[in-house]
Structure formats: C-alpha cells, structure tokens
Structure 1
C-alpha cells in the first residue's frame, strides 16, 4: 500500500497501483477546505448548449475537461484542487480507449483525484457520450 503526503497535507491512499495510469487515487485524506466548489456535469457543449463533437469520444472528453477547468479558474482553483471526479458515459469501452484526453490534463496539473467511471444508458442531450462532474476544495 502506498500513501504519500503532498505539501498541501493531502494524504494519498493507494492499496494497489493499477490505478496509476488512470491518474486517480483510491482515496485522499485532505484537511477541511475553507471553500468547496461543486461542479455540475460538464459535457461537450458550446456556450449556447449545442452538442459538439458527436461521435468523437476523445473530443467530447477534452471539451468537458476544458469546461471544468474554466469553472475552476473562475473560482480561483485548478485541477489540483479537485477531490472527486465522476465520469458518466454511454460507452465505457470507448471512454477507456479515449481516456488519455482526461489523464493528460490531470497529469499536467499533477492531479490524481479519486474518480469513478459510470456507464449510463443516456445523457441529458442527444449526441452526448460523456459528462463529467467534479468536486473541488481549497
């Protein structure tokens, strides 16, 4: 079991290592944040709510993560402040095949938030294949 502590006093808890390529920790024990940001599911939509990149899982993941990063920035936070990601998808195998669109952003921020990948039958708008919700705190 590996447990590490960052300068921010976050204790990373990983009883196994298979999760490392997916850029998530099994658990993190953090000090109580003074601010908590709850981010509703973000998807591959433009400013008017129109679905973009239908049929392109990698592009949908990338735009959803971009939208999350914009919200984080507006709150004075980064991906390093995310303490939970939930990825909802209509196609788990395709999401896993395109998962580097998510892990590259997490790696650039040196972030390994606990995460869940959840298969669903449909999302809010026709053409969406992935939606990502997040919790952050600082």
Structure 2
C-alpha cells in the first residue's frame, strides 16, 4: 500500500488537516462509527469540557481502531461533529496535538450540528482507516 498526503494545511508548524489522502492498493479498510467521550459506565464524561471530550473521544476511537487490527496512524479520514463550533475551534490545538502524538494525519471535516445523540455530548468523531 502507498499513501500520499495531498494539500496539507499546516498551522504553527503542525498539520491542521490534509485536503486529501490518496491510498493505492490497500489490503484492508476499517470504517469506524462515531465515537464520543463515554466513561466505562457508558455515561458522557467531561460535561461542558470540550478539551476533555476531545481527548477521551480520540482515546475511545483509538481503542476501536486497535480492535480492528489497525492503529491511529492508519486512519486516513475523520469527521468531527460538534454542537459548538466556536468552542471546538478554540480547543482545536488539543485535537491537532493528540492526532500528532498518534501519528494520525487524516483528511478531515469539522462541522457544527444542532444536536448529537446525548445532550451532554459536545463532540463526536468517526473515522476511516486503511492498511
């Protein structure tokens, strides 16, 4: 498999997102449903804390990706849905730092929605990985 990042947008020396990621001849694809900041008991954690929800959501996403036999470095696309785009953009550095630490360099989407499945959710992230 080969991977090519197309149109990377870098801010402050860090990748903000890629406009596209080209994958040639992958062996496997993993489509990951939306993940949120849920504690082990299933309740939403970090209520009102965008940065905390970003970190836990990415951790939960990484756990699922690992269960699928891949790593976050294999993620080629993420969609980030938030109920408060201003708060999310204010904490976007947290998302960039977390993704950088995971060697995750996806194409991405950031969109504000009117509601998520739980009123305490501030963010939900879904992904596609390829290897």
Q: TM-score, normalised by structure 2?
A: 0.89
Return structure 1 stretches of 4+ with deviation > 3 angstroms.
15-23
Alignment match of 1:66 (pick from 38, 52, 59) = 59
Q: TM-score, normalised by structure 1?
A: 0.85
SS in 2 for 1:73: helix
CA RMSD across the alignment: 2.0
**Could you tell me how far 1:31 is from its partner in structure 2?**
1.3
Contact 1:39 1:135 in 2 (8 A): yes
C-alpha distance in 1, partners of 2:13/2:126? 21
SS in 2 for 1:118: strand
**Could you tell me how far 1:51 is from its partner in structure 2?**
1.0
Larger relative strand fraction: 2
C-alpha distance in 1, partners of 2:37/2:8? 34
Q: Residue in 1 aligned with 2:90?
A: 97
C-alpha distance in 1, partners of 2:121/2:8? 34
Question: Which blocks of at least 5 consecutive residues in structure 2 are unaligned?
Answer: none
SS in 1 for 2:31: strand
The yes-or-no answer on 1:111 pairing with 2:120 is no
The yes-or-no answer on 1:127 pairing with 2:120 is yes
